[in-house]
């Protein structure tokens, strides 16, 4: 069965610090990869997605993620975080060769201090 | 504008009640999903459906059932609600060969 692991459950950073959130998945077939964000009191928003092509994907709000197939990883990065990036971040995988159902990681809560 | 609509945003039910959560999508999507979201656990797949009258168990189907009589509608049923089913429930839909999944706004269910 597919699974998604997010290594950091809580991350605390100061503004302007760099961010990297880890995501690993287990699935042997072709996958589509996603990062979602949920700001306090709001519903999920898509940050970025990878289907094929360039493994370095750029998303909204200055986020990017790199797909490393050999490591089954899709880590999220941002060079300089802002207080407004305080949110919960979810990595997700869809089995594009199957039913295309989306499986989520447990999430990482990011708190950015001014 | 594409839409996944969950009819009930906030519900309070008693233990043992039968609960129906309804979801409708207007995009002619083949797939529909029910997730529950809990702090520290992320979104966990309860059931999904890839066609009318077809359903597959997700990771946590116990205590739930689903119904998909029409392509646009996917219902989640709690046969006998329990307090551990207090949660946020999210409906979603996508195409089998598509690359975007659309979420509803969620239904907050409290079982007392």
Best mutation site among B32, B101, B108 for testing chain A: the one with the most A CBs within 10 Å?
Answer: B101
Give the span between the Cα atoms of B63 and B86, in whole angstroms.
Answer: 12
Tally of helices (H runs) and strands (E runs) in chain A: 0, 12
Query: Considering only CB atoms, which chain B residues are within 8 Å of A46?
Result: 100
Residue B38 has pLDDT above 70, yes or no: yes
The dihedral through the CA atoms of A17, A18, A23, A24 has a sign that is negative
- pLDDT on residue A42: 85
Residue B111 has pLDDT above 80, yes or no: yes
- pLDDT on residue A99: 73
Chains A, B: CB contacts within 8 A come to 56
Give the span between the Cα atoms of B106 and B108, in whole angstroms.
Answer: 7
Extract the residue ranges of chain A whose pLDDT is less than 50.
Answer: none
Residue B26 has pLDDT above 80, yes or no: yes
Other beta carbons within 10 angstroms of residue A54's beta carbon come to: 9
- pLDDT on residue B1: 65
Q: Indicate yes or no: CB of A94 within 8 angstroms of CB of B98.
A: no
- pLDDT on residue B2: 65
- pLDDT on residue B6: 94
Residue B5 has pLDDT above 90, yes or no: yes
**Which distant-in-sequence residues (6+ apart) come within 8 Å of B99 by Cβ?**
A32, A49, A51, A96
Name the more confident of B107 and B95.
B107
Q: pLDDT confidence of B61, banded at 50, 70, 90?
A: very high
């Amino acid at each position: 069965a597919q699974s998604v692991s997010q290594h950091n459950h809580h991350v605390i950073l100061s503004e302007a610090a760099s961010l990297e959130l880890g995501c690993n998945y287990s699935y042997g077939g072709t996958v589509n990869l996603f990062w979602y964000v949920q700001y306090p009191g709001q519903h999920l928003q898509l940050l970025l997605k990878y289907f094929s092509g360039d493994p370095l994907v750029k998303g909204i709000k200055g986020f990017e993620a790199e797909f490393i197939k050999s490591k089954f990883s899709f880590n999220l990065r941002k060079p300089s975080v802002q207080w407004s990036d305080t949110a919960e971040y979810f990595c997700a995988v869809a089995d594009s060769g199957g039913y295309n159902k989306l499986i989520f990681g447990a999430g990482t809560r990011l708190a950015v201090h001014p | 504008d594409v839409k996944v609509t969950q009819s009930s945003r906030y519900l309070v039910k008693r233990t043992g009640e039968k609960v129906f959560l309804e979801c409708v999508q207007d995009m002619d999507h083949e797939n529909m999903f029910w997730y529950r979201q809990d702090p520290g656990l992320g979104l966990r797949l309860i059931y999904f459906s890839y066609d009318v009258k077809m359903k597959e168990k997700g990771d946590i189907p116990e205590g739930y059932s689903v119904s998909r009589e029409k392509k646009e509608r996917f219902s989640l049923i709690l046969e006998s609600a329990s307090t551990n089913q207090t949660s946020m429930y999210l409906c979603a839909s996508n195409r089998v060969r598509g690359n975007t999944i659309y979420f509803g706004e969620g239904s907050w269910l409290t079982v007392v």
